[in-house]
Chain A
Amino acid sequence: MVREVDVAVIGAGPAGLAAAVEAAAAGLSVTVLDEQPAPGGQVYRAIERADSGRLAILGQDYAEGRELVAAFRASRAEYLPAATVWNIGTDRLIDYSQGGEIACLRATAIVAATGALERPCPVPGWTLPGVTTAGGLQILLKGAGVVEDDLVLAGAGPLLWLIASQLVAAGAPPRAVVETLPRGRQAAALARLPGALRAAGYLRKGVALMNAVRRAGVAVHTHAEGLEIEGETRVTGLRFRAEGGEHRLHCTAVGLHQGVIPNPQVTRLLRCEHVWDASQHAFRPVLDDDFQTTFPGLYVAGDAGGIGGARAAALQGRLVGMHLAARAGRKVAGKPAALRTALARDLAIRPFLEALYAPDPAILNPADSTIVCRCEEVTAGRVRAAVKLGAPGANQVKSLVRTGMGPCQGRVCGVAVSAIIATARGAPPDTADYYRIRPPLKPLALTELAAYPMIAPDLEIREP
């Protein structure tokens, strides 16, 4: 009764598209599912609709995505747009919703190409209306082309500068960029540079972005600390300390950013093993040489397996696609060895970026009064109180104070809560555990569930 395919790819970003193209080229039946209405993922969102003006704003990298999307469109892979995967069973049954209806699919191999999540930035006031993330702003920019007019960008990371420069190019420069990198970070990161020189292109690009933003007259504050977002019912300003003084900027919107982390939802749902990546300050799934997780048949390509960026994601996707083809006994046209070399070259910049943009220690250990779980409005103090009572880990804290129990399923607060627990116990972050992720990965209308397809006969059930 359930449709079967060789490969199901979840996510139509660079990793997923590349995996699908390779696997389909080798003759495997491939289905790509993605929540968005069009292929491209976060980085190449709405790329097929972008006119030359929008492409000029979003830059050369964005344009590169066009080729990949075109190759995917030309491939034999089946594409299910606006399809939200909300459960994957240990029997590899994939439950998804499309157009308000549930459908199921079973796949021999599943590729989670679900990308990255933005790291939560629990600073005072971050739950006020008007606060968004840099990534959220980018979605607006790429989708509707709408941008906030009275905006301050605050935080750190390459994406912060990218979005700032894109806003400048769009003619809507932010009021200010408030960078939270502590003093001395640069020096520490430079120590990691020799390896990165092989990726000099990235570095040049980064510097060019920052210069473009400054040249446009955007106020830039560096080494900022003590960020506090002000406002009663919505954002009215941002306070911080920098350059030896207190600052207060009036604004109606704040875009926060502290880098991105692997999206753990699928790999946690299937209880894959994860490790703490001390350099990325995040958990990532354990992957073998072929990008297979500890759940047999589940592969991860792209940022969901560890942050590497769009090019690395596409290379990993191609490698996974080729591996799946070879595993199924198909002839593989491409050369995996060459792709692996390219991948290593592309990832060479990472140690430098990771050292430079390590998250602001303040957001890893927020004040007691700061909310960490937005859905259930739980403060850091309540998390610490549960730890003090003896709750041994993230799941027990969740049971006691409801962190991660809201509609976002811990996507927003997960790493923050794990970090607070570890710190409160005086334990290193690699000993912290993480929420057990439960389906549905996204909220599901009860009426929709009631119409779940008849994929099997019903069991006789006794009454309770």
Chain B
Amino acid sequence: MLDITNLHATVAGKPILNGVSLHVPAGEVHAIMGPNGSGKSTLAYLLAGRPGYEATEGGATFDGRDLLAMEAHERAAAGLFLGFQYPVEIPGISYLQFLRESLNSQRRARAEEELSAAEFIKLAKAQAQLLGMDTEMLKRPVNVGFSGGEKKRAEMVQMGIMSPRFAVLDETDSGLDIDALKAVGAGINRIMRAPDKGVLLITHYQRLLDYVEPDKVHVLYRGEIVRSGGPELSHELERQGYAEAAA
């Protein structure tokens, strides 16, 4: 499903990723753990197509297609979703309008029928309710005045609405209290646990992994994957810290 091969990347003239290789087959959830500054968000941005984040060597394919050759919106239409570490505020545009236009733009790109306003509102409300988000918040401007936790929950509502084939979730667990963490964990399992879907779960805490059990865990350290293993690796990291695991 997602294949990353020897990926190198430089951001603002500084090498950040130094040869990352990773294979996430359909039906699996892989966790990436690593200390602050190790390049986790850089990897996420690169996969989602943020301008200014470019590979200097190596590449990535998504279902065999050259992912890095596609524009950000084409990647979304192909079924890739990025859950942002820092969700962005857009004043003047309601969540409902933002998501309806986004989803319909994806659907047009896939030659699918667009959703009517009524169909969309029904879908959005249902997803908000499943994630425990007040549906009135969908009428507010995108993320404006939302708390950190509300923004993260809203990212998961967006994921529920888009129903992507592959999700890269960048520290979706940070800033969540225990109830929100449970809701988000359950949301990830409900939306993304399927034989034809995959997840790259970026986190630096074990706690989300108690709710979303990964098939594999990788340690990203100074721009390289220094170890890979099963779910037990995350417990080891929790006990020992990254430096030791990297040694």
Q: Do chains A and B interact in one complex?
A: no
